[in-house]
Structure 1
Amino acid sequence: MWYEIILRFALSVFVGGLIGYEREYQNRPAGFITHILVCVGAAIIAMIQNQLVQDSINLTLMYPQLANSLKIDSGRIISQVVSGVGFLGAGAIIHNKGSVTGLTTAATLWVVACIGIACGMGYYFLSITSTIGVYCVLVVLKKVKFRIQDKISNKEV
């Protein structure tokens, strides 16, 4: 059991750090450490949620008469993380003189929280695949975006 906790924690540090590294490299407001902390926090909440469900099952098995009174919503705490991180992401969005910046950073904070939940729930393949996908979007598709913007700006001239 303890090795699962360590594995989930380590994976959340790694995947949050990888995405945070890209944001740090781009000199964005929420970088390496922020993304790690968001991912780890989400993983911790997911592990707590798992444990609460397991504790409820164990109590029901020990005391069958409690079966009708013990209810647990397996997504309740996790849903609070998803909405709470939205608030954190809103702080990364800056409105300055008609332009808005920080939307990508806000989105990466939210997606890192979701990946952290996947780590905490023990969905390793989903965690790793999601991280690779997000990293590719941030690094590879950014180049595609700049090419599209260049074509649009050249067309207007």
Structure 2
Amino acid sequence: MDLVLADMFPESRIHYPVIFARLFGAILLGGLIGFEREARDHPAGFRTHILVSLAAALFAIISIEAVHMPGFTDDPQVRIDPLRVIEAVTAGVAFLAAGMIVFSRGRVKGLTTGAGMWLSGGIGLATGFGYWPIAVFATVAAVCVLYAFGKIEKKLGSDQGSKSNGEQ
């Protein structure tokens, strides 16, 4: 039983409470962006943005831990590069975000939601790597851009906003 427990809770470079705090932070920060999208009734909303941010944070944490795993550090032939994780998350989220963008009746729709998903991935990576101030600032900036500029676009006329980014 001890072996099973040791396997379930291996030695970790990052302490488990910190890991859980980072994952929870990714949930909160991704949720803030998703909440704004949900409030505007866009297809990728609250849950989608949370999952994107949480997954990115998880991949960041795993890449930090993998660099320090005993099996990988002993063999000089095995090299773990956390930058590849960032590239993979960026590409994967960009693929999901691209799926949100549609061209319908001469208009592009979903571009802002796709960009929000991509940003949620970046925020999740920042949180997962422990860059809390960057993640929080990016979240606050995103919510301000989405909310405040959405209001400004609405005041200027709803057609202007929909022509520039496909959403209102």
Query: TM-score if structure 1 supplies the norm length?
Result: 0.85
The one-letter amino acid paired with 2:93 is V
Contact 2:33 2:142 in 1 (8 A): yes
Higher RCO (CA-CA < 8 Å; seq separation 6+): 1
Q: Distance in 1 between matches of 2:82 and 2:113?
A: 29
- Counterpart in the other structure of 1:55: 69
- Cα shift readout 1:41-95 (whole Å, capped 9, x = no counterpart): 0000000111112226x964xx5xx4x4342222112211101111101111121
What residue number does 1:11 align with? 25
Q: Which runs of 4+ in 1 moved over 2 A?
A: 68-72, 143-150
Does residue 99 (structure 1) correspond to residue 107 (structure 2)? The answer is yes
Partner SS for 2:103: strand
3-state SS of paired residue (1:75): helix
Q: How many residues align?
A: 145
Matched-pair contact (CA < 8 Å) for 1:49–1:78: no
- 1:44–1:120: 8 Å Cα contact kept in structure 2? yes
Partner of 1:142: 150
Distance 2:62 2:86 in 1: 10
Is residue 81 of structure 2 the alignment partner of residue 73 of structure 1?
Answer: yes
Aligned amino acid, residue 23 of structure 2: F
| TM-score normalised by L of structure 2 | 0.79
- Listed one character per residue, the Cα deviations across residues 93-126 of structure 1 (whole Å, up to 9, x for unaligned) are 1211111110000000000000000011011111
CA RMSD of aligned residues (A): 1.9
Unmatched segments (≥5 aa) in structure 1:
153-157
Partner of 2:35: 21
Q: Name the structure with the higher helix share.
A: 1
Q: 1:37 aligns with which of 51, 54, 67?
A: 51
**Aligned residues with identical type, % of pairs:** 39
Which of these residues, 93, 99, 102, is aligned with residue 85 of structure 1?
A: 93
- Read off the aligned partner of 1:133 and give its amino acid letter: A
Q: Secondary structure at the match of 2:44?
A: coil
CA contact (8 A) 2:60 2:82 kept: no
Q: Give me the whole-angstrom Cα distance separating, in 2, the residues matched to 1:51 and 1:32.
A: 29
| CA shift for structure 1 position 147 | 4.0
Report the Cα distance in structure 2 between the residues aligned to 1:125 and 1:24, rounded to whole angstroms.
25
